[in-house]
Amino acid sequence: MSDDRFTRLAPPRVGPFREGAFESPLHATRTAAWLGLALGVCFVTCFVTGFLSHLIQHPPSWWSWPARPAGLYRLSQGIHVTTGIASIPLLLAKLWTVYPSFWTWPPVRSAAHVIERISLLPLVGGSLFMLFSGVASISRWFPWGFSFPPVHYAVAWITMGALVVHVGAKIGVTRLALSPRAPDLTVDAAARERGWGGLTRRGFLGAAAAASGALVVTTVGQTFRPFAALGVLAPRDPRVGPQGVPVNKTAGNAGVVEAATDPAFRLMVDGDVATPLALSLEELRAMPQRAATLPIACVDGWSANGRWRGVPLRDLVVLAGGPEGASVVTHSLQRAGAPYAMADVNPSHAADADTLLALELNGEPLALDHGFPVRLIGPNRPGVMQTKWVGRVEVLAP
Amino acid sequence: MTRPPGLELPPPFAVAEDSSRYGPLFWVGVGLGWVAISFGVWSLLAKPGATHPPAVAVWVAGLALVHDLFLAPAALLVARLIHRVAPRIARGLVLGALAISGMVALYAFPVMRRFGAQPDNPSFLPRNAGAGLAVVLALVWIVAGAVLARRLHARTDRG
């Protein structure tokens, strides 16, 4: 009964093309269904991890990101970027498979069909945009005039919304195409494929999977250390950088060289405190120090462990007479308003013993590009919220 | 292109015209989906200074058009050309290896061209991605060549 859906297919005339213009057996429902399924899993994974990263950086009042486990953000953002990269071949293969549908004739058949097709523009354009903008951004290539994070976030909603419409329209045909009764599986279809003599459907899916796998193997090493040596197409190597840790923004780029190397530097601790402090580097070094091995986990998907040593943030808050359960805002020496020049440290992070104002990395004073004289480093935080060149610690009562 | 005799048309991709396709589930999807799409559009419009909505619209629509009117037809033409010139025993392998090469190269393009390189930050793009891409592509074609050699060998064995 349900097989009627396949036998009553629209005639193979496709748009302005003659009958049978798209001859390849690769334009098959079952192939599209497999690719759609794989792509659906990847896109949902990207959306969930991306939304998480958005929440962490723009926490709504009802939500708070915990300081533990220390490596959770590193894992989730590594999955976000790697899954996005893995999706590239899957998306291109999927679009190739369904390409004749673009020329469906007549172009629209009913109101529902119009809605389905209109929703394909945000789906196809949005998917291509999400992957293109993501790859360009981790390559620090910004060939557009807008700010990447809010646009990547907004278009993610547009793409996922269009995906929901698409799933609603295709779930029936997908389920049927993946069932053992699917006509694509018949002896006829196999014979047709042999007669065609090109890439088989299985070979095509294999090629898409191989391309996806090759991209994962050659990029995941930027966050997954055992694969570091294989990361030949990754923008980062977690082993390469000053003191063995990569740098995202250099001191020169941030315009802080002079302020950060000024001997008159003082770290200000103020806000809701009993006694505001102004501490010199020597005074910070004289305080009890704590060491912790913590990752720098960049939103760009790379991460690297470092052995950090410095003053626990909570000790500074206590020293200044700040209240229990306080949150903190760290301000860098960068000009106010520069992107990521300040970061919110919520009470969970501010109270964690390993949230440090670090003075040392891997046994040496911080390199200038890692935030000398003092930087914030804490467990389970995106790199952009690990403020470098900290000049002011603002304590906020709960 | 002429079809080999006895070869029927492949299953057309066009989808059934049946009404069950646009059942309640479809309309639930339309409702939920367009709420999310509207939220995305609103997010864009809420911060026009940062998001430049017209530029975003041009990029989103532009990428779809570039794919549908340029990339896909170009891939189709290349595939058709190879289908015509490559011997039958190598056809699928060449097409598969070419597809993998193209997709990996597409990803590698901005890393290879070093658009974002910063002179004062050697920790960004520490490797020569062009060389990396060459190695990956060489592996792909070596594997394809090995499979072809085995096929040819098997055919000779069968006499």
Among chain A residues, the shortest Cα distance to B4 is held by A195
Tell me what pLDDT residue B6 has: 38
Among chain B residues, the shortest Cα distance to A185 is held by B11
Mean pLDDT of chain B: 89
Flag whether pLDDT at B1 surpasses 80.
Answer: no
Higher pLDDT, B90 or B14: B90
Tell me what pLDDT residue A23 has: 73
The answer to whether the CB atoms of A147 and B118 lie below 8 A apart is no
The answer to whether the CB atoms of A6 and B16 lie below 8 A apart is yes
Flag whether pLDDT at B93 surpasses 90.
Answer: yes
Helix ranges (H only) for B6-125 are 24-46, 48-51, 53-66, 72-85, 88-113
CA distance A11 to A27: 15
- Judged by a CB distance cut-off of 8 A, whether residue B87 touches chain A is no
Tell me what pLDDT residue A182 has: 73
pLDDT digits (tens, 9 = 90+) for B56-73: 999 999 999 999 999 999
Of A102, A135, A166, the CB nearest to B107: A135
User: Which pair of structure tokens corresponds to residue A90?
Assistant: 């899957």
Q: How far is A50 from chain B (nearest CA, A)?
A: 14
Tell me what pLDDT residue A120 has: 96
The answer to whether the CB atoms of B10 and A23 lie below 8 A apart is yes
ipTM: 0.93
Give chain B positions within 8 Å (CB) of A113: 22
Q: What dihedral angle (degrees, nearest 10) is formed by the CA atoms of A154, A156, A161, A167? A: 170
Beta bridge partners of A294: A306
How confident is the prediction along chain A (398 residues), in pLDDT tens digits per residue? 334 344 333 344 556 676 667 777 788 888 999 999 999 999 999 999 999 999 999 999 999 999 999 999 999 999 999 999 999 999 999 999 999 888 887 888 889 999 999 999 999 999 999 999 999 999 999 999 999 999 999 999 999 999 999 999 999 888 888 888 776 666 566 667 777 778 888 999 999 999 999 999 999 999 999 999 999 999 999 999 999 999 999 999 999 999 999 999 999 999 999 999 999 999 999 999 999 999 999 999 999 999 999 999 999 999 999 999 999 999 999 988 888 999 999 999 999 999 999 999 999 999 999 999 999 999 999 999 999 999 999 999 99
The whole-number average pLDDT for the span B38-42 is: 98
User: Which pair of structure tokens corresponds to residue A310?
Assistant: 């410095």
Whether residue A106 is preceded by a cis peptide bond, meaning omega within 30 degrees of 0, is yes
The answer to whether the CB atoms of B12 and A12 lie below 8 A apart is yes
Q: How far is A134 from chain B (nearest CA, A)?
A: 11
Spatial CA neighbour of B9 closest among A193, A204, A107: A193
Tell me what pLDDT residue A195 has: 77
Indicate the residue type of B159: G
Tell me what pLDDT residue B44 has: 98
Phi-psi region of B30 (alpha: psi -120 to 50; beta: other; left: phi over 0): alpha
CA distances from A17 to A100, A102, A105, A269, B73 (A): 10, 12, 9, 72, 13
Among chain A residues, the shortest Cα distance to B21 is held by A169
pLDDT digits (tens, 9 = 90+) for B97-147: 999 999 999 999 999 999 999 999 999 999 999 999 999 999 999 999 999
Helix (H) or strand (E) holding B155: helix B129-158
Q: In what order do the strands lie in the sheet with A267-271?
A: A277-279, A267-271, A390-396, A327-332, A342-345
Tell me what pLDDT residue A21 has: 72
Among chain A residues, the shortest Cα distance to B39 is held by A157
Q: At what angle do helices A201-219 and A72-97 cross, to 10 degrees?
A: 150
Q: How far is A364 from chain B (nearest CA, A)?
A: 18
Contact yes or no for A236/A300 (Cβ under 8 A): yes
Tell me what pLDDT residue A106 has: 81
Contact yes or no for B96/A203 (Cβ under 8 A): yes
Higher pLDDT, A196 or B155: B155
Q: How far is A223 from chain B (nearest CA, A)?
A: 14
Tell me what pLDDT residue B72 has: 95
Tell me what pLDDT residue A345 has: 98
pLDDT band at B13 (very low <50, low <70, confident <90, very high): very low
